[in-house]
A and B are shown apart, each in its own frame.
Chain A
Amino acid sequence: SFFGLVSQGAEIDIVLDGQESRKTAELKLEDGRKERLPLYYDGETVSGKVNILVKKSGTKLEHQGIKIEFVGQIDLYFDRGNRHEFVSMVRELARPGILTQGVCYGFEFVNVEKPYESYSGANVRLRYYLRVTVVKRLSDLVKEQDICVHTLAQYPDLNSSIKMEVGIEDCLHIEFEYNKSKYHLKDVIVGKIFFLLVRIKIRHMEVQIIRRELAGSGPAALNESETLAKFEIMDGAPVRGESIPIRLFLSGYDLTPSMRDVNKKFSVKYYLNLVLVDEEERRYFKQQEITLFRRAEKRRRPIANSYIEQAIFHHRTAQFGQQQQPTTRAQQQQSQATPPLTTPEDAAAAAISPGRHGDANNSAADSPELESGSTHVSPALPAARSAPGIKDVLGEDDDDNY
């Protein structure tokens, strides 16, 4: 009998099973705030209870049915209304009827698939949530509860180092090496920079971690780069023959696993950017893509929660495609899909780009990018840059911003 009533007559509350003991993870919301959400894995059952409280005792809440959905969806921010649901499951909680008092329904989405990791980025978001709907004649009552999903990956069998000689002819030749090409989120990047020729006056050198998010596809695709870390590794002018070590601990930074063409909607890639700055503020840089993955945490005690154990068994590893069985077939696929690193591709990707800048605060000088002369992969290991699902990145033109 009232129009525009704020209190819609009922309060809906979703309580997940085991919430007290379940691990949580932080996710950024659309407005920038961070929220702590319960953490689930692929294959894990999502179950709990829905409490519906009628606000004023004595009032009757007439409804056309109550249902709960488990949804996994990708939102492209710049394309309002572009919401793609890749997981959608419904459970009917109640047939049409009348509620006069509080009521509690249990729900269980058994071993529900969660193929991708939750991601909250600049132009795209991937989220999983439960949605309770009390269908009514005029407007439904809706309550959502987000959860966070992490995808776990096995440590890759093949993880070759990255070693490359780059430079500017006659002015600067360096050889950089990173100990691996795939790092887990709590890993350490161990590397070194070796100076072969130094005819410019270098003032300092740093390593940056850059995240590049590619949302959408075709002409409307949006590319967003963010520098997540800047880590100075050298202060002062090096000469030929000097070797500068790198040891960069990743656990200190807010990183996600690399994501490749998630549901054909978006990708998240990570790059190490080596930057040398000379006395006149000119910046020389070389970007190199690395793959980040989330490793299952090592447990010292036996796993108490059998759900998590089941989840690891059933998970889909986005990056490395390793099924629990048959392992031999997966490994064969991996070696067949591995093209070797080659010099011409590198040269194409690393051509000098004069007049562009690696950093916004430099306007006076140019930023020549370093050309590669030759490319080395550590001996005895084939170049394992690809696994099923990862395309070789060397031929792509990543350098639109630099």
Chain B
Amino acid sequence: MSTSTQSAASIQRLQHKRQTLEDAYSPPANFLEIDVCNPETHGVNKDRYTDYEVRMRTNLPVFRLKESSVRRRYSEFEWLRGELERDSKIVVPKLPGKALRLQLPFRGGGDGRFDDEFIEERRRGLEDFINKVAGHPLAQNEKCLHMFLQEQTVDRGYVPGKVRTT
């Protein structure tokens, strides 16, 4: 009824600026890739621990380094999660499990938390976690995230704060 009497002009697309070729074909401004890989177990017997390489490539201006590679262990991921929960206003995603049961002695079969399967599952969970977190605009504001991703060591005595002034 009404649409048939409507002129083509009244439902025509609004005028828009043409996109420049540069904008169309440049690398996108949202490039952010974080890999959690190369798990390595250090130490012997009781004092063993596993850490992972956290490798980051980005072109987001908020990150100081466009490429970085650091080694982090599970407890440091936990630390990051705690800092973000306290300081940022985001709902922080969950980490993969703590595997408390596996740490008890005499747990039958395999290497417990140094089991290859367990490490691989944990690696995947940590990768999902850090990608979700690092891509969040509000988390990108937090100094703890930048330190976690781009400083060689995590200084737990740092002064918490924001990176951007907004």
Chain A interfacial positions (CB closer than 8 Å to B): 168-172, 177, 179, 184, 186-188, 190-192, 194, 197-201, 237, 239-243, 245, 247, 249, 251, 278-280, 282, 297-298, 354-355, 363-366, 368
Contacts and interface: CB of A to CB of B under 8 A. Distances in A.
Interface residues of B, number: 37
A237 B17 contact: no
A237 B135 CA distance: 15
Interface stretch (B5-13, B116-124, B148-156): B5-13
Interface in B20-63: 20, 23-24, 26, 28-30, 32, 60-62
Given A364-B93, A365-B91, A366-B89, A278 B135 contact: yes
B135 A279 contact: yes
B16 A243 contact: yes
B136 interface: yes
A365 B139 CA distance: 11
A197 B6 CA distance: 35
A168 B17 contact: no
A188 B3 contact: yes
B164 interface: yes
Contacts of B137: 168, 170-172, 200, 368
Closest 6 CB pairs of A and B: A241-B23, A241-B19, A243-B16, A186-B2, A354-B89, A171-B137
A192 B14 contact: yes
Q: Which of B14, B28, B90 lies at the interface centre, i.e. has the most chain A CB atoms within 10 A of its CB?
A: B14
Interface of A is mostly: loop
Interface string B80-93: 00000000011101
A247 B11 contact: yes
B135 A198 contact: no
Contacts of A241: 17, 19-20, 23-24
B75 interface: no
10 contacts: A170-B137, A186-B2, A200-B137, A201-B30, A243-B17, A245-B13, A280-B132, A280-B136, A354-B138, A368-B138
A190 B135 CA distance: 32
Interface of B: 1-3, 5-6, 10-14, 16-17, 19-20, 23-24, 26, 28-30, 32, 60-62, 89-91, 93, 131-132, 135-138, 140, 164, 166
A188 B6 contact: yes
Given A240-B23, A241-B20, 16 more contacts: A171-B137, A177-B14, A186-B3, A190-B10, A200-B135, A239-B28, A240-B19, A241-B17, A241-B24, A242-B23, A245-B13, A245-B14, A251-B3, A278-B135, A355-B91, A364-B91
B29 A199 contact: yes
Contacts of A188: 3, 6, 10-11
Contacts of B23: 239-242
A194 B17 contact: yes
A240 B29 contact: yes
Contact of A282 (B3, B24, B89, B136): B136
B30 A198 contact: yes
B89 A297 contact: no
Given A241-B20, A243-B19, A298-B5, A199 B13 contact: no
